[in-house]
Structure 1
């Protein structure tokens, strides 16, 4: 895979916690502007891998690089969206986003930052709630605000750790569509690494799926997602090729689980 200016490279990465191997021998390359899904069951280390890419954890061995430069810790080039929103509760939604803008554009005035914050919130359908606090919003609205804040950093990488996992199916579908619309409409297009345990979600959103197995976590297969964009849920879920690929991925996960059960 060609390595662009903001591409991500993971080589021979190991991670352990409390003497137990969590990740082992992870090799992964993500192209500039690619949407990659990390898919796997609980315990496969996919969230840990995302935290390592974000610089929130340090590997036991191996190499992490972005745009050809080693990653040694957190940085403004990698925006992170967690499952549980992580907004500052004492700030209004607008000020949460303005705080991110201040990091991306430290010379802007407070008024300019707030104006830009409203524009980012409008992109995710929250233009009218800039003056409200996170606790005044629904879970889906809080997650939209968290996405707006991450986008306001203008980072080339967007790292997302099961961001829709706590939402009901309707809001989950809405935010999936919103994410793809914002990602496709951005210039340049951000590189996304998206953690999920849902095969349908991975195939709906991603350009490529890296499937992780557990004990210790490792990448067992990678699949290119061949479906053209824009993808419509109704048509995609009726497509025989979609069902075939979904079954192939599910069988790979099941085979890995059975192999570990038999070896135990």
Structure 2
């Protein structure tokens, strides 16, 4: 039995113009401990699928099951990291993480929860910043807090929705390393699903990459498997033949839409001029 199974998933919403179908016919199986990225153009339903796995959206059709149990809502077995960090602005680094641990971890004493909080603050290199408020931190530091908080509640699965999209390239690279360090420290037991627009990010982090068709009524176009060795070194893997092949493959799949849109644009321009 797979850890996560999505079968014939459809998510639709009522609108004044009728039913809008965001995704349809989604079939996906993910093993325990896998890192899977979902990529595609804006509006292709990436976040919709993630929200269904997180229990924040109810399927119109189909099922989402974890360990054979249907997802009926959010739960502490799934930690979520958003692009906007979602930190409470009036709480310090320590307090943002401790509050999450205190709410989600029920079988620990207060002292044990404090130890967990300190452990993950140290893991992401923020011990000297533990008393800072979010407004006193850079984007990269805030994202470290968000990731530390997600790991600290000890979920079985991490759902990452464009977690590094707002960061500069150097900070983003650092955060990739921090994420994999935490994943490795947990013996690669946590399943990670990430939504991203960044092909290089997806290749560096993932075991498999799910490529979506364009919406509405988006579905899975292809699933690409990666066999790059772990642990991964960015300088080394970019020169590997498989890296270059998979990168070109993904670019080709995603550029099809751009070429079609450009052709439509020029055709429309010719008609207008005519």
Query: TM-score, normalised on structure 1?
Result: 0.92
Q: Mapping of 1:211-250 within 5 angstroms? A: 211-215=211-215, 216-250=217-251
1:104 to partner: Cα distance: 3.8
Tell me whether 1:10 sits opposite 2:41 in the alignment: no
Q: Mapping of 1:21-40 within 5 angstroms? A: 21-40=21-40
Cα separation, 2, equivalents of 1:110 and 1:137: 27
Cα separation, partners in 2 of 1:53 and 1:213, compared to 1, 3 Å: same
Give the structure with higher Rg (CA).
2
Cα separation, 1, equivalents of 2:209 and 2:249: 12
1:183 to partner: Cα distance: 0.6
Cα separation, 2, equivalents of 1:168 and 1:237: 19
Query: Which shifted more, 187-196 or 78-87?
Result: 187-196
In structure 2, the residue corresponding to 1:79 is in which secondary structure?
Answer: strand
Q: Mapping of 1:81-230 within 5 angstroms? A: 81-187=81-187, 189-215=189-215, 216-230=217-231
1:105 to partner: Cα distance: 2.7
Query: TM-score, normalised on structure 2?
Result: 0.89
Structure 1 unaligned residues grouped into runs of 5+: none
1:137 to partner: Cα distance: 1.0
Post-superposition Cα deviations, 1:211-246, rounded to whole Å, max 9, x if no partner, equal 111122211000110110111111111223211111
1:260 to partner: Cα distance: 8.3
Post-superposition Cα deviations, 1:65-123, rounded to whole Å, max 9, x if no partner, equal 00110001100110000001001112221111112222343354444323321111111
Query: Which shifted more, 38-47 or 240-249?
Result: 240-249
Q: Mapping of 1:48-59 within 5 angstroms? A: 48-59=48-59
Structure 2 unaligned residues grouped into runs of 5+: 265-274
Cα separation, 1, equivalents of 2:89 and 2:114: 17
Post-superposition Cα deviations, 1:174-195, rounded to whole Å, max 9, x if no partner, equal 0011111111221361000011
Tell me whether 1:45 sits opposite 2:45 in the alignment: yes
Instruction: Tell me, yes or no, if the aligned pair for 1:38 and 1:46 is still in contact at 8 Å.
Output: yes
Instruction: Tell me, yes or no, if the aligned pair for 1:46 and 1:217 is still in contact at 8 Å.
Output: no
Cα separation, 2, equivalents of 1:114 and 1:136: 23
Cα separation, 2, equivalents of 1:249 and 1:70: 32
Aligned pair count? Answer: 260
Cα separation, partners in 2 of 1:260 and 1:52, compared to 1, 3 Å: farther
Instruction: Tell me, yes or no, if the aligned pair for 1:24 and 1:218 is still in contact at 8 Å.
Output: yes
Cα separation, 2, equivalents of 1:137 and 1:114: 22
Cα separation, 1, equivalents of 2:233 and 2:111: 39
Cα separation, 2, equivalents of 1:12 and 1:74: 21
